[in-house]
C-alpha cells in the first residue's frame, strides 16, 4: 500500500533520498513536500535497474495497492478541497481535521503552493508509469483509497482511485478487475469472492449506466449529462449493493449519510468554509 519504498528501491546512485539539511520528519509540510521529489530521484523508466526491480517484484507475486487518490491533493489542492460531495457528506469533525494543521496527520498545507504541486504532478507521471507497466507484465495491482485524510472522503475516494488507475493507462476493464478479482486474489479469497461465478458469494452492485464508458457514474452523486432536451441531469450512482446475497438500497443509504451530516451541522451551527476564510 502507498508507494514510498518503491522509488527508494529504484535508487541507483544513493541509498537515501536527497533530504535538505533542514528536513524535519515531524514537520509534515517537509515530509510530504520532499515525498513529491522522490520518484524523480529514482531510476529512469525502463532502465536496467528499473526493469530488474519490477521483474523481481513480479517473480515474488508482489501486490501493489497504489492508493493514488490519497495523495492527489498534493498535485491539486484546490480540486480536492472543493469536491462537490464535501458540502453534503463530510461531517464537521472531518472537515476540521482536513484543514491545515501541525497536529492532524495529513493536514500538511502549512504553505502549499505551485512549486509543490508541480513536483507532485511529475511524481504522479513517473509513479503511474511504473504501476501501469507492472500491470502490463502480469503484476497484480489492486484498488484502495486510505480515505479519511487529505480531503479524501469515504466512498467517493474509492471511485476516484478507479479514475486514477484509468489515468495511469489501465483499460476500464483492467480497472474493474483491479477493484474486484485482483483484490480477492491478494486476500486469498478469490474462491469465494471477486467475480460473478456459480458457487461464489453474491457480491454485486447494480447500476443503470455503463461504468466502462464513464467511471464517474459510480460516484454516489452520479455524473453530469446533457439530455436531448438540452437539460442538465444526473445519471448513475449505484442503485443497489448486494453483499452476501443481501440487497441494500444504495441511494437510501447515501441519503441516510446526508441526513446525518445535515443534522450534525445544524447541531453545531456549522458551515463549511475554505481554510483561512472567516
pLDDT given for residue 174 in this prediction: 99
List CB contacts of 247: < 8 A, sequence separation 6 or more.
240, 241
Per-residue burial over 70-90, b if 16 or more Cβ lie within 10 Å, else e, is bbbbbbebeebbebebbebbb
Last residue of a domain, one of 175, 201, 227: 201
Share of the chain above pLDDT 70, in %: 100
The mean pLDDT value for 257-275 works out to 98
pLDDT digits (tens, 9 = 90+) for 76-104: 999 999 999 999 999 999 999 999 999 99
35 lies in some domain:
yes
Q: Are residues 69 and 125 in the same domain?
A: yes
The mean pLDDT value for 260-269 works out to 98
List CB contacts of 113: < 8 A, sequence separation 6 or more.
none
Q: Are residues 188 and 60 in the same domain?
A: yes
191 lies in some domain:
yes
Last residue of a domain, one of 185, 201, 217: 201
Could you tell me if 219 and 229 are in contact, meaning their C-beta atoms sit under 8 angstroms apart? no
62 lies in some domain:
yes
Q: Are residues 162 and 251 in the same domain?
A: no
Q: Are residues 150 and 176 in the same domain?
A: yes
User: What is the spatial distance between Cα 218 and Cα 165, in angstroms, rounded to a whole number?
Assistant: 14
Q: Are residues 214 and 105 in the same domain?
A: no
Last residue of a domain, one of 201, 229, 250: 201
Number of domains into which the chain is organized = 2
Q: What is the mean pLDDT of the chain?
A: 97
Q: Are residues 119 and 239 in the same domain?
A: no
Examine the pLDDT at 202 and tell me if it is beyond 90. Answer: no
pLDDT band, residue 1 (cuts 50/70/90): confident
Q: Are residues 172 and 209 in the same domain?
A: no
124 lies in some domain:
yes
Burial class (CB in 10 A: 0-12, 13-18, 19+), 135: buried
Q: Are residues 164 and 236 in the same domain?
A: no
pLDDT given for residue 4 in this prediction: 85
Domain region containing 222: 202-271
278 lies in some domain:
no
pLDDT band, residue 2 (cuts 50/70/90): confident
146 lies in some domain:
yes
Q: Give a three-class secondary structure readout of the chain.
A: CCCCHHHHHCCCCCCCCCCCCCCCCCCHHHHHHHHCCCHHHCCCCCCHHHHHHHHHHHHCCCEECCCHHHHHHHCCHHHHHCCCCHHHHCCHHHHHHHCCCCCCCCCCCCCCCHHHHHHHHHHHHHHHHHHHHHHHCCCEECCCCCCCCCCCCCCHHHHHHHHHHHHHCCCHHHHHHHHCHHHHHHHCCCCCCCCCCCCCCCCEEECCCCCCCCHHHHCCCCEEEECCCCCEEEECCCCEEEECCEEEEHHHHHHHHHHHHHHHHHHHCCCCCCCCCC
pLDDT digits (tens, 9 = 90+) for 104-163: 999 999 999 999 999 999 999 999 999 999 999 999 999 999 999 999 999 999 999 999
Share of the chain above pLDDT 90, in %: 97
- Lowest-confidence pick of 3-12, 23-32, 68-77, 113-122: 3-12
Q: Are residues 195 and 209 in the same domain?
A: no
User: What is the spatial distance between Cα 265 and Cα 116, in angstroms, rounded to a whole number?
Assistant: 33
Q: Are residues 49 and 114 in the same domain?
A: yes
Q: Are residues 17 and 79 in the same domain?
A: yes
211 lies in some domain:
yes
**Bridge partners (DSSP) listed for residue 63:** 140
For 49, half-sphere exposure in the C-beta direction (CA atoms, 13 angstrom radius) is 12
Q: Are residues 197 and 218 in the same domain?
A: no
Q: Is the pTM of this model over 0.75?
A: yes
147 lies in some domain:
yes
Amino acid at each position: 500500500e502507498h508507494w514510498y519504498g518503491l522509488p527508494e528501491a529504484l535508487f541507483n546512485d544513493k541509498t537515501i533520498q536527497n533530504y535538505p539539511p533542514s528536513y524535519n520528519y515531524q514537520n509534515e509540510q517537509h515530509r510530504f513536500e520532499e515525498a513529491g521529489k522522490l520518484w524523480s530521484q529514482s531510476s529512469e523508466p525502463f532502465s536496467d535497474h528499473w526493469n530488474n526491480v519490477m521483474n523481481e517484484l513480479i517473480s515474488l507475486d508482489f501486490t501493489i495497492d497504489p492508493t493514488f487518490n490519497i495523495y492527489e491533493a498534493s498535485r491539486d489542492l484546490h480540486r480536492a478541497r472543493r469536491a462537490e460531495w464535501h458540502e453534503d457528506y463530510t461531517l464537521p469533525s472531518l472537515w476540521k481535521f482536513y484543514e491545515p494543521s501541525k497536529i492532524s496527520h495529513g493536514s500538511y498545507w502549512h504553505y502549499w503552493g505551485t512549486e509543490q504541486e508541480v513536483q507532485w504532478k511529475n511524481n504522479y507521471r513517473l509513479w503511474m508509469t511504473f504501476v501501469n507497466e507492472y500491470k502490463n507484465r502480469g503484476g497484480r495491482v489492486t484498488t484502495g483509497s486510505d480515505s479519511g485524510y487529505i480531503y479524501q472522503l469515504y466512498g467517493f475516494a474509492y471511485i476516484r482511485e478507479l479514475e486514477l488507475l484509468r489515468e495511469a493507462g489501465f483499460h476500464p476493464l483492467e480497472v474493474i478487475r483491479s477493484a474486484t478479482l485482483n483484490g480477492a486474489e491478494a486476500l486469498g479469497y478469490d474462491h469465494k469472492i471477486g467475480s460473478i461465478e456459480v458457487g461464489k458469494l453474491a457480491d454485486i452492485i447494480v447500476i443503470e449506466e455503463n461504468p466502462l464508458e464513464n467511471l464517474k457514474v459510480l460516484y454516489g452523486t452520479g455524473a453530469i449529462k446533457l439530455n436531448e432536451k438540452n437539460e442538465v441531469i444526473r445519471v448513475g450512482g449505484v442503485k443497489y449493493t448486494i453483499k452476501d446475497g443481501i440487497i441494500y438500497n444504495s441511494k437510501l443509504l447515501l441519503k441516510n449519510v446526508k441526513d446525518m451530516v445535515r443534522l450534525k451541522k445544524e447541531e453545531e451551527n456549522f458551515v463549511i468554509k475554505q481554510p483561512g476564510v472567516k
